[in-house]
Structure 1
Amino acid sequence: MTQVLYITGAGVSAESGIPTFRGEDGYWTIGSKNYTPQQMATRAMYEHNPGQFLQWYYHRFVTYRHHGPNPVHHWLADKTLITQNIDGLDGKAGNPDYIAIHGRLDEVTYYHQQGEEVARFKAPWDEVDESALEASLLALFKIGRSGPKLNESLKPYVLLFDEYYTELYQISRAQRLMQNADKMVFMGTSFSVNITNMALEIARSNDIAIEIVDPQPAHVLHARSHYHRMTAQQYIETYGAVDT
């Protein structure tokens, strides 16, 4: 049986009403009054200005926490899947074992040194008092005036720009899935993050066929590439009965 690995990006969740990263209202297009998104979504910002970080994170991500999966997520529910998305919609759609390589919106960890083992648990978003947003977030995340404390304060379970892939994000398992794949299907991703570049390099080295599903696909240097210039929804409507 052909081992197909699906690797998804923000385009897959767009039809659930969640902005893509680089669109007009994208996550990385809208920053804060004083900082760009690339400055906001960093461990340094969390450590040195946690109030700003948590408010920005809350407005840009947490407000979408109750959105539901779309037909693409449901179609992927029984597939081998690595997603760059943190929205958790693949879990809501019933995929029991997918890899959220950049973390999950609905979980937090203790603030810890990268690479250390740490537990994940439910995020306290529903307890936030929006009338006093910053103070409420800081209290819920156990962050005092001196900033986050190791192994005491909470941190969103999300990989930030100045962090690296660790076992917390199942990086070794993700690499094994890539190595063992007979084909990779990239859906709704711009190939602008490390995990897609890693997968592409493995595909080249192992001569693995890839498919790229996107209305405006990024062109990659790989001889065994096939492009589907369509949305993920159109792709499953066209090829959904079989793995192409």
Structure 2
Amino acid sequence: MNTLYITGAGVSAESGIPTFRGEDGFWTIGSRNYTPMEMATRQMYTHNPVEFLSWYYHRFATYRHHDPNDVHYWLADKNLITQNIDGLDGKAGNQDYIAIHGRLDQMTLFHQQGDDVDTHTTPWDNVDESDLEHSLLELFNIDKGHQQPEINKSLKPYVLLFDEYYTELYRISEAQQRMLEADRMVFMGTSFSVNITQMALEIAITQGIPIEIVDPNPVEIPYQKTSYHRMKASDFIKTED
């Protein structure tokens, strides 16, 4: 059976990374001046990169040394699309997973959406926290005087922001093809609040693909071929072995 696993922040919670909408979640806590929904936008990066990069560094990059948990290792040989940018599936050994929202450990040229660009490793360890703002501007090749990123010159975290859309940089066509070819979809630790899960659900319903939802408090889906596993992902994988 061709099972497609689609994972969300709940899978990485046991690695000590906050879920997005929990009490200490990435989207619950913003910066001093802006809400998370305002911060995580291309517009904010374009017009206020210092604020954006400082928030991004504190809310994401500080978790870059966390290790995979048992679920990531169990998924290492599975057909996987993850919404998480933490890179833990790669650390666990999955060589062909799709990081549909990007990866914390990578950056790209700051480009017009849809342009074909490469990804590069982000040298986060070069950041000087004692001079964080200037250090981040230097890391992303943003002029300290102008303080605005320049298209095709500056760099940008490899992450899909709220006001951006899925492009081939995020392997969206391959993700859709994996959905269409699946005999079974298993959603693990996701709140179904992002576009990729809605896309997967629509394909599953249209194609008649059975779905399973793994979550202690799962979202109820109005689809007859839905099964629920009201448990953490770490408990679910024990039932699968």
TM-score > 0.5 by shorter chain: yes
Classify the secondary structure of the residue corresponding to 2:227: strand
> Cα offset for 1:139?
1.0
Q: How many angstroms apart in 1 are the aligned matches of 2:150 and 2:224?
A: 49
> Cα offset for 1:238?
1.8
Residue 58 of structure 2 corresponds to 59
Instruction: Tell whether 2:150 aligns with 1:149.
Output: yes
> Cα offset for 1:234?
0.5
Instruction: Tell whether 2:171 aligns with 1:170.
Output: yes
> Cα offset for 1:97?
0.3
Q: How many angstroms apart in 2 are the aligned matches of 1:51 and 1:119?
A: 24
Q: After superposition, where does 1:155-234 map in structure 2 within 5 Å? A: 155-234=156-235
Q: After superposition, where does 1:14-33 map in structure 2 within 5 Å? A: 14-33=13-32
Classify the secondary structure of the residue corresponding to 1:203: helix
> Cα offset for 1:111?
0.1
> Cα offset for 1:72?
0.1
Q: How many angstroms apart in 1 are the aligned matches of 2:92 and 2:138?
A: 32
Return the letter of the residue paired with 1:222: Y
Q: How many angstroms apart in 2 are the aligned matches of 1:118 and 1:151?
A: 10
Q: After superposition, where does 1:80-159 map in structure 2 within 5 Å? A: 80-144=79-143, 145-146=145-146, 147-159=148-160
Q: How many angstroms apart in 2 are the aligned matches of 1:125 and 1:221?
A: 43
Q: How many angstroms apart in 2 are the aligned matches of 1:163 and 1:129?
A: 29
> What CA deviation, in whole Å up to 9, does each residue of 1:21-45 have, x standing for no partner?
0001000011011100000000000
Normalization by structure 1: what TM-score?
Answer: 0.97
Q: How many angstroms apart in 2 are the aligned matches of 1:44 and 1:219?
A: 34
Return the letter of the residue paired with 1:180: E
Q: How many angstroms apart in 1 are the aligned matches of 2:215 and 2:96?
A: 24
Greater alpha carbon shift after TM alignment, 5-14 vs 139-148: 139-148
Classify the secondary structure of the residue corresponding to 1:165: coil
Q: How many angstroms apart in 1 are the aligned matches of 2:3 and 2:118?
A: 30
- List structure 1 runs of 4+ shifted beyond 6 angstroms: none
Q: How many angstroms apart in 1 are the aligned matches of 2:152 and 2:125?
A: 23
Q: How many angstroms apart in 2 are the aligned matches of 1:87 and 1:138?
A: 22
Return the letter of the residue paired with 1:31: G
Q: How many angstroms apart in 2 are the aligned matches of 1:200 and 1:222?
A: 9
Name structure 1 gaps, 5 residues minimum: none
> What CA deviation, in whole Å up to 9, does each residue of 1:132-168 have, x standing for no partner?
1001100111111331011110100000000000000
Q: How many angstroms apart in 1 are the aligned matches of 2:63 and 2:12?
A: 11
Q: How many angstroms apart in 1 are the aligned matches of 2:103 and 2:177?
A: 21
Return the letter of the residue paired with 1:110: L
Q: How many angstroms apart in 2 are the aligned matches of 1:208 and 1:164?
A: 26
Equivalences, count: 239
Q: How many angstroms apart in 2 are the aligned matches of 1:232 and 1:140?
A: 36
Return the letter of the residue paired with 2:19: T
Classify the secondary structure of the residue corresponding to 1:13: helix
Q: How many angstroms apart in 2 are the aligned matches of 1:102 and 1:78?
A: 20
Classify the secondary structure of the residue corresponding to 2:185: strand
Name structure 2 gaps, 5 residues minimum: none
> What CA deviation, in whole Å up to 9, does each residue of 1:49-85 have, x standing for no partner?
0000000000000000000000000000000000000
Q: How many angstroms apart in 2 are the aligned matches of 1:235 and 1:181?
A: 20
Q: How many angstroms apart in 2 are the aligned matches of 1:141 and 1:205?
A: 43
CA RMSD in angstroms, aligned pairs only: 0.5
> Cα offset for 1:124?
1.8
> What CA deviation, in whole Å up to 9, does each residue of 1:6-25 have, x standing for no partner?
00000000000000000010
Normalization by structure 2: what TM-score?
Answer: 0.98
